[in-house]
Amino acid sequence: MAVSANLVKELREKTGVGFMECKSALQEANGDLEAAVTILRKRGLASLAKKSGRETKDGFIGTYVHNGKIGVMVEVNCESDFVTRNPDFQELAKELAMHIAASDPRFVCKEDVGEDVLAGEREIFNAQARSTGKPENVLGKIVEGRISKYYSETCLLEQPFVKDPSISVREHIAAHIQKIGENIQVRRFVRYKLGE
Amino acid sequence: MAVSANLVKELREKTGVGFMECKSALQEANGDLEAAVTILRKRGLASLAKKSGRETKDGFIGTYVHNGKIGVMVEVNCESDFVTRNPDFQELAKELAMHIAASDPRFVCKEDVGEDVLAGEREIFNAQARSTGKPENVLGKIVEGRISKYYSETCLLEQPFVKDPSISVREHIAAHIQKIGENIQVRRFVRYKLGE
């Protein structure tokens, strides 16, 4: 059975498991997402769904400064102090700081985009879509596409990860959740550009 | 001639020159502050007054993370890119980040304390002073003393420098202005405490 790339992507985001494993699980599950998660779990690959609901009270603050001119600080949360001492976890915090320095996100996640900001963008996208003169029934799709692009440009978790643009930052973090075995969340970040 | 400690302090803040040199210059100038600055200048010690008015367009972003739990980022400005590569200047940025991690200031300088914040504090100090039952003519002095204490607790530049509490952060920076020969200014900082 052919499995859509979007479905594979969704399963990857949900589980943090690699592309091939997700694809094979989805094929085995005839495209049923929940069944595919169960298959991955049975294979010991995905215990993520449970983890990503767990509370993150501890964490590590990562920093990165590029030539003294761009500085980033990011708070990455996990569940236990034990994990905060894990070099892989600390490396993740550092990588995220580097990513933020390079990609300059405005928000952590979609939910952090204010409703007024989103409404403003939607209005602009609407006007742009209308000006194409395309039929009314495709305008909605164009606008939704633009909003999705807006998220992937401005939200850290939706941005293509600088060190591997084939995955999103969310997927990169999900892979660490999988590997480390604890829920991991980016709580906040700040980016200074000299003199801005 | 005896010179008051306050006057020596004022000269030090103005010039960044050491205590003994300031005291001796003030003695020579019979306590005249401006004359003492001139004396220090003639000695090649103080060219500061001019420097501290100059524009700071360049700089360095310093960071410090304490055990992954407290993170600080600070933007320190200077006049030229040349100075940003000076290890003493970079070390100052790092020291200031460490100081902020330890002393948790709320503002860079007095001017950054909002008028509403100050008015609120003043009201509290007034009430506290009144409750002492002291005569009306000393209440004003008590309040001013409390406000001065408030500044030295909450404003980075007025705080005692953690590595040498006998001087303020302002004086520590002034010493670097003197040494490096360029105006230096703290533009902004941010401090993260894990989970706050």
How large is the ipTM?
Answer: 0.70
Chain B CA closest to residue A188: B192
B130 neighbors B139 (Cβ within 8 angstroms): yes
3-state secondary structure of B186: strand
Of the candidates B16, B168, B163, the residue with the CA atom closest to the CA atom of residue B101: B163
Determine, for residues A60 and B68 on separate chains, whether the beta-carbon distance falls below 8 Å: yes
Contact residues, chain A, for B77 at CB < 8 Å: 195
| Chain B residues with a Cβ under 8 Å from any Cβ in chain A | 57-63, 65, 68-73, 75, 77, 84, 90, 93, 188, 190, 192, 194-195
> Do A192 and B188 lie within an 8 Å CB cutoff?
yes
Helix spans in B74-182 (H): 81-84, 87-103, 115-131, 136-154, 169-180
Of B57, B63, B195, the CB nearest to A71: B63
Q: How confident is the model at residue A185 (pLDDT cuts 50, 70, 90)?
A: very high
Please give the residue that has the higher pLDDT: either A77 or B195. A77
Exposure of B24 in the CB half-sphere (CA atoms within 13 A): 9
Which pLDDT score is estimated for B82? 92
> What long-range pairs does A5-14 form, CB within 8 A, spacing at least 24?
A7/A31, A7/A33, A11/A36, A11/A37, A11/A40, A12/A167, A12/A171, A12/A174, A13/A168, A13/A170, A13/A171, A13/A174, A14/A46, A14/A48, A14/A49, A14/A174
Question: What element of type H or E holds A25?
Answer: helix A19-28
* Digit-coded pLDDT (tens) for A16-55: 788 888 899 999 999 998 888 888 877 766 555 556 666 7
Contact A194 B58 (CB under 8 A): yes
Question: A107-120, pLDDT tens digit by residue?
Answer: 999 999 988 888 88
A-B interface: how many C-beta pairs under 8 angstroms? 71
Q: For residue A57, which residues of chain B lie inside 8 Å, CB to CB? A: 195
Rounded to whole angstroms, the Cα distance separating B11 from B34 reads 9
Q: Which of A3, A4, A178, A29 is closest to A92 using CA atoms?
A: A178
Grouped pLDDT means (10 residues each) for chain B, 196 residues: 85 80 90 85 63 77 95 95 94 97 95 89 84 85 91 96 96 92 94 90
Q: Which residue from B minimizes the CA distance to A71?
A: B61
Which residue on chain B is closest to A75 by alpha carbon? B194
Q: Given a cut of 80, is residue A14 above it in pLDDT? A: no
Which chain B residue lies closest to A64 (C-alpha atoms)?
B63
Using the Cα atoms of residue B157, residue B158, residue B159 and residue B161 in order, give the sign of their dihedral.
Answer: positive
Flag if A71 and B75 touch (Cβ within 8 Å).
Answer: yes
Taking CB atoms and an 8 Å limit, are B59 and A194 in contact across chains? yes
Which residues contact residue A182 at a Cβ distance below 8 angstroms, ignoring those fewer than 6 apart? A51, A54, A56, A78, A79, A80, A83
**B69 and A90: CB-CB below 8 Å?**
no
User: To the nearest whole angstrom, how far is the Cα of B69 from the nearest Cα of chain A?
Assistant: 6
Contact by Cβ (8 Å): B48, B14 = yes
Above 80 in pLDDT, residue A126? yes
The pLDDT value given to residue B49: 52
Q: If you measure CA to CA, which chain B residue comes closest to A191?
A: B73
**B66 backbone dihedrals φ, ψ, rounded to 5°:** -100, 110
Q: How far apart are CA A118 and CA A123, in angstroms?
A: 9
Check B71 against A73: CB less than 8 A apart: yes
Q: How far is CA A133 from CA A122, A136, A149, in A?
A: 17, 9, 21
CA–CA distance, A178 with A173 (Å, rounded to integer)? 9
Q: How high does pLDDT run on average in chain A?
A: 89
pLDDT category at A15 given cuts 50, 70, 90 is confident
User: Taking CA B141 as the corner, what is the angle to CA B139 and CA B143, rounded to the nearest 5 degrees?
Assistant: 70
| B16 conformational bin, left if phi > 0, alpha if psi -120 to 50, beta if neither | left
Residues from chain B that touch A188, judged by Cβ atoms under 8 A, are 192
Identity at B19, one-letter amino acid code = F
Give me the pLDDT at residue A47, please.
56
**Tokens in use for A185?**
């969340």
- Give the pLDDT score at A53: 61
Instruction: Tell me the residues of A at the B interface, defined by beta carbons under 8 Å apart.
Output: 57-63, 65, 68-73, 75, 77, 84, 90, 93, 188, 190, 192, 194-195
Note the pLDDT of residue B47.
Answer: 56
pLDDT, tens digit (0-9, with 9 covering 90-100), for A137-150: 888 888 899 899 99
User: Tell me, what's the pLDDT at A123?
Assistant: 84
Residues A48 and A22: beta-carbon distance below 8 Å? no
